[in-house]
């Protein structure tokens, strides 16, 4: 369950319609896939990207972006996402970065 669904004052959960939640950590970002139920017991998905930022003075804040995806759009969204991912994979193959000698400065401290 995404942490915005918690009432900060009392720790009480406001999102009583939450059915399933899957957080995915990816570097500086965390993605939340939350399945929710409507009053009519229909389901929809919220996808939230949360990125932690440091404010001046060390205070942490979060930039959040949300997508609401409804059941009738699942197939088209899934197809579009898969096509976009395949396009990126074909255009920009993933290369594992390996450290090598060119990553570091070549300094001879005896010359200093």
**Measured CA angle at 72 (ends 4, 51), to 5 deg:** 30
Q: What is the pLDDT of residue 60?
A: 86
pTM, two decimal places: 0.63
Domains identified in the chain, total number: 1
Asked whether residue 28 is domain-assigned, the answer is yes
Q: What is the dihedral of CA 55, 64, 18, 21, to 10 degrees?
A: -90
Q: Which CATH number do you get for residue 9?
A: 3.10.450.700
Question: What does DSSP say about strands 18-26 and 29-37: parallel, antiparallel, or unpaired?
Answer: antiparallel
Asked whether residue 62 is domain-assigned, the answer is yes
Print pLDDT tens along the chain (112 aa): 555 544 433 333 345 488 999 999 999 899 999 999 988 889 999 999 999 888 888 888 889 999 999 999 999 999 999 999 999 999 987 666 655 555 555 555 565 5
Asked whether residue 64 is domain-assigned, the answer is yes
Contact 55, 61 (CB under 8 A): yes
Residue 28: which residues within 8 A CB-CB, separation 6 or more? 51, 52
- What is the domain extent for residue 52? 3-71
Give the integer Cα–Cα distance in Å for 51 and 45: 20
Give the integer Cα–Cα distance in Å for 72 and 44: 9
Q: What is the pLDDT of residue 92?
A: 85
Asked whether residue 60 is domain-assigned, the answer is yes
Give the integer Cα–Cα distance in Å for 3 and 74: 24
Largest CA distance in the chain: 76
Q: What is the pLDDT of residue 8?
A: 38
């Amino acid at each position: 369950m995404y942490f915005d669904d918690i009432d900060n004052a009392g720790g009480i959960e406001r999102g009583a319609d939450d059915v399933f939640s899957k957080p995915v950590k990816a570097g500086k970002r965390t993605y939340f896939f939350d399945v929710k139920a409507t009053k009519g017991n229909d389901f929809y998905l919220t996808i939230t990207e949360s990125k932690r930022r440091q404010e001046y003075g060390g205070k942490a804040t979060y930039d959040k972006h949300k997508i609401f995806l409804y059941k009738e759009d699942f197939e088209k969204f899934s197809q579009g996402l898969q096509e976009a991912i395949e396009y990126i994979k074909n255009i920009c193959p993933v290369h594992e970065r390996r450290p090598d000698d060119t990553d570091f400065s070549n300094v001879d401290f005896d010359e200093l």
